Structure 1
């Protein structure tokens, strides 16, 4: 069993007007691609436990640091992080490797990108595995507007949009503390506290629960975000309403084979109508929180590989 210390060396690849830092493994499995899409505030390194298992199972693994992360390009214009650009990066990555389509795996914001990619470019997606974030129904109200009505101005999605620059200034000053306090599992029940959750985390002196990863692995994330800051990655949130408009013309039904993996203790709610929008979705729930593939790496690998094998043989 390979360890995260065997993480692939990166390559900078020019696609779609940006450079993406891509971590590739299993080139000997060319012809069987799988693309891994990280969330926020994550990196391709978030898939360190999955990459060796996928290579051993015969996959050509492509794991980019998406735009705004690590050594990938970080455009200054907020609109450069909308779903058309993020999905376009992945389409261009397939073109770079000469693939018509691929299996895509996404966690958190990466899942949002994979859902959006499938809506905008269905022919480039063979199958979907998404973790934590289910399909988001496009209702009559733009998403940030809706969240503001439901959860108020302090909810971090809303705060990022309505008070640009405020949160990232605090996060940038407290990179280690924020990431240490965020990457936790087995959290004790806590009443909701006033204020903006991410700012509160960045200022909290003591973390709750247990660490998701050892300090040596956390250091990879801390080093990356100390270098880049958080503005570019938070700009993804600042496109949610723009994405709502961009997806207006897309057929909302995803017919691809899909696997949705929930963490039973995740704060992100499960979507009761998933089958209405993703009729070929299988659903698995694991006894963990939000950082599914890091909290339960072996179980996550087993679930993903079993499902992929069934899909391939089916």
Structure 2
């Protein structure tokens, strides 16, 4: 496998850091990470895909790592995030690509499939399903459902509050997210903090070495969590700006993967049931004994499913 090389390119008003691996002539495949992750989250997939002949593009998404982290919340709306990748594909001369996304990266990947029906030829998403544009902003629905109890997405809405907590000890924050995914399902008052009452982190999970964790920590060292949290502060703006996509289906062949212990499966149970209506060419798998960090926790099974899906006619 060719060594990974960093490209820093000017797109959509920012500098985007993209790690590129694999033979120059290989078909391009993009890997979009989620929160709170980094390009290194795809390390096992990068190796497998490059070995299979693909040229792999793993960006640090807007607000993360060495990619620009603008101050304005509106600079992180969904169509702007899609625009970063669209212009990056232009930069690299990509006429056809496979798009892969996990968590928030999956949200971007779903919408790139809608915006670029000719260029995105196959789609692979993990953890976050898709069932079309909602009838009203999701954040309105969440405020009604969680008026009397804690919800981490609502907690993220007030600028500065979550940043202060998560930035206080970045390594501890990341270790807790990796080791205890139930922090996102806590039952406590709406005024609580996310990590309040959570026990100190123990040993790292088997899939994350200290060297791996160091890469994650370095990703947040300069800018902290402000940029990544701003992704969560655009639900209403996202809904307004995607009106043109209302009613559209994702028509590309699509592979969807989720762990049976993923908290998102609880939050998005209704969307999971409705997904085939919006994604008619859908193959989906629930991975056993697997939480949210699916491409790391079950990397071998994820790689097997991805490569088998890519080999289908």
In the TM superposition, what is the alpha-carbon distance from 1:209 to its structure 2 partner?
Answer: 8.6
Matched, 1:193 2:195: no
Closer, same or farther: CA 202–23 of 1 in aligned 2, 3 Å? farther
Q: Secondary structure at the match of 1:222?
A: helix
* Alpha-carbon distance change, 28 to 180 in structure 1, aligned in 2, over 3 angstroms: same
Is the counterpart of residue 266 in structure 1 residue 268 in structure 2? Answer: no
Aligned with residue 58 of structure 2, among 63, 66, 87: 63
Aligned residue in 2 for 1:44:
39
**Cα separation, 1, equivalents of 2:128 and 2:184:** 22
- SS of the residue corresponding to residue 282 of structure 1 reads strand
The answer on whether the counterparts of 1:266 and 1:290 sit within 8 Å (CA) in structure 2 is yes
Give the aligned partner of residue 152 of structure 2.
156
- Give the superposition deviation at 1:27: 3.4
TM-score (norm 1): 0.90
Q: Does the 8 A contact of 1:132 with 1:263 survive in 2?
A: yes
TM-score by length of 2: 0.90
Cα distance, 1:65 vs structure 2 = 0.2
Give the superposition deviation at 1:84: 1.3
> What residue is the counterpart of 1:54 in the other structure?
49
Higher relative contact order (CA 8 A, sep 6+): 2
User: Does the 8 A contact of 1:177 with 1:202 survive in 2?
Assistant: no
Match of 1:125 among 117, 120, 124: 120
Which of 202-211 and 53-62 deviates more? 202-211
Partner of residue 218, structure 1: 213
Residue 8 of structure 1 corresponds to 4
Change (3 A) 1:89 1:188: closer
- The answer to whether the aligner puts 1:233 opposite 2:228 as a matched pair is yes
CA-CA distance at 1:197 after TM superposition: 11
What residue in structure 1 maps to residue 201 of structure 2? 207
The secondary structure found in structure 2 opposite 1:302 is helix
Q: Does structure 1 conserve the Cα–Cα contact (< 8 Å) formed by 2:122 and 2:252?
A: yes
Runs (5+) with no aligned partner, structure 1? none
Q: 1:195 to 1:228 in 2, by over 3 A?
A: farther
Deviation, structure 1 residue 165: 1.0
Q: Determine helix, strand or coil for the equivalent of 1:128.
A: strand
Say if 1:305 and 1:202 are closer, same or farther in 2 by CA, change over 3 A: farther
SS of the equivalent of 1:139 reads: coil
CA–CA separation in structure 2 for the residues paired with 1:196 and 1:104 = 37
CA 190–273 in structure 1, closer or farther in 2 if over 3 Å, else same: closer
Q: What SS class does the counterpart of residue 262 from structure 2 fall into?
A: coil
Q: Is the 8 A contact 1:188 1:208 kept in 2?
A: no
Task: Indicate yes or no: 2:25 matched with 1:29.
Answer: yes
The answer on whether the counterparts of 1:10 and 1:21 sit within 8 Å (CA) in structure 2 is: yes
- Structure 2 residue 167 is matched with structure 1 residue 172: yes
1:242-257 → structure 2 map (5 Å cutoff): 242-250=237-245, 251-257=247-253
Structure 2: runs of 5 or more not aligned: none
- Judge conservation of contact 2:257–2:287 (CA < 8 Å) in 1: yes
Give the length in aligned residue pairs.
304
- The DSSP-based 3-state class of the residue aligned with 1:228 is coil
Question: After the TM superposition, which of the residue ranges 135-144 and 66-75 deviates more from structure 2?
Answer: 135-144
Q: Which of 297, 304, 311 is the matching residue for 1:295?
A: 297
Question: Does the aligned pair in 2 maintain the 1:7–1:48 contact within 8 Å?
Answer: no
After superposition, what is the alpha-carbon deviation per residue over 1:125-173, rounded to whole angstroms, capped at 9, x for unaligned?
Answer: 1110001111144222211111111233731212222x22101111011
